[in-house]
Amino acid sequence: MADAGNSGWAEHSIHEHLSHIPHARALGVELLEYRDGHCVVRLPYADKLVGDPDTGVIHGGVITAVLDNASGMAVPREGLLPEQRAIATLDLRIDYMRPAEPHFDLIVTADCYQITRSVAFVRARATQGDNEQLIASSVATFMLGANRAAPPGFSNLGASK
Amino acid sequence: MKLLRELRAVGKGQDMEALLKCIPYARFLGIQVDRKGNELTMVLPFQEHLIGNVALPALHGGTIGAFLEFTAAIQLLFDTESERLPKTVDISIDYLRSGRPVTTYGRAIITKHGRRVANVRAEAWQEDRTRLIATAHGHFLLTPVGTDLEGDANG
């Protein structure tokens, strides 16, 4: 993935990317759909994710984790320099509409609706069932080129497009 | 919540450690509580499966978010007589530094305690209390009306 201009970050790369996130593996996150700037993941229901043992409802923190994960994957990688592809969540705001129904998969759809040289803006929603009952929605911002210890120099970030 | 009522009934209502043990997701993350008098510090010992970025390595943002949500909810339970786990209406997390593969600590304060909704702030740090890795603030529903948050959340 040394090529900066070409895609180099197709679906197989994001599959690979996901399989290298230990926490995503531990939660059981599966990739359903991917294109640059958009992704859909599924979180199968699991007993270990329960937050309320009396009802079997999964914990809100699980939804937080999956929304964060899917939102990060929706940050477009095409046209970015390899060093810009490392991203860090700046903030994440989540609204919980209703508790997730026990024993149903959670589907999270994330879309990057704006990207600047250094920041990506992503919206995501978590739904359940055929009628796509809305469980939670989120907005997040991500810093691009976050793997550098020092603040990224503009000469580097400006070189992308 | 039945569980909480039972814990309270046997005089363990303030035993947050026992409560956390009953919550599968808290066990999955490995969350513990350190209680000193009326002060609670939540503890998240490092585990491999909490990692989000193996290259750095760094804790998963969702791990930190979930931990802060727990920190806020447990503090609320500790401070109130509520018999139900508070329901999160919204939470906003600011990530300040990447979480290194070490133990993370969290504390929360209740900014405003209303009749039905509480506003809570929480912060997380690792080795240095003055270098926070993340902060959060959120609203929690204390006595949910009905089985879901519809109507209440936007009311």
The complex scores an ipTM of 0.83
pLDDT of A31-68, one tens digit each?
999 999 999 999 999 999 999 888 999 999 999 999 99
Q: Can you give the pLDDT at residue B117?
A: 92
Topology classification of domain A11-157: Thiol Ester Dehydrase; Chain A (3.10.129)
Residue percentage of chain B with pLDDT more than 70: 83
Nearest alpha carbon to residue B62 among B36, B93, B97, B33: B93
* Higher pLDDT among residues B152 and A61, named by residue: A61
Number of domains chain B is built from: 1
Q: Where are the domains of chain A?
A: 11-157
Beta-ladder partners of B81:
none
Q: Which residues of A touch B (CB under 8 A)?
A: 20-27, 47-54, 58-62, 64-69, 72, 86, 88-99, 146-147
CA distance A144 to B124: 23
User: How far is B15 from chain A, CA to nearest CA, in Å?
Assistant: 17
**Mean pLDDT estimate for chain B:** 86
Q: Give me the mean pLDDT over the A118-141 stretch.
A: 95
Q: Can you give the pLDDT at residue B8?
A: 67
Report which DSSP code applies to B144.
-
Q: Give me the mean pLDDT over the B125-146 stretch.
A: 87
In a domain? residue B147: no
**Contacting residues of B for A90, CB less than 8 Å apart:** 94-95
Q: Can you give the pLDDT at residue B13?
A: 57
User: How far is A148 from chain B, CA to nearest CA, in Å?
Assistant: 10
Domain holding B29, by residue range, is 2-141
In a domain? residue B35: yes
User: How far is B36 from chain A, CA to nearest CA, in Å?
Assistant: 25
CATH number at residue B124: 3.10.129.10
Q: Can you give the pLDDT at residue B145?
A: 43
CA distance A81 to B76: 45
Q: Give me the mean pLDDT over the B100-116 stretch.
A: 94
* pLDDT band, very low/low/confident/very high, at A134 (cuts 50, 70, 90): very high
CA distance A65 to B134: 14
Q: Can you give the pLDDT at residue B143?
A: 66
Cβ atoms within 10 A of the Cβ of B130, count?
5
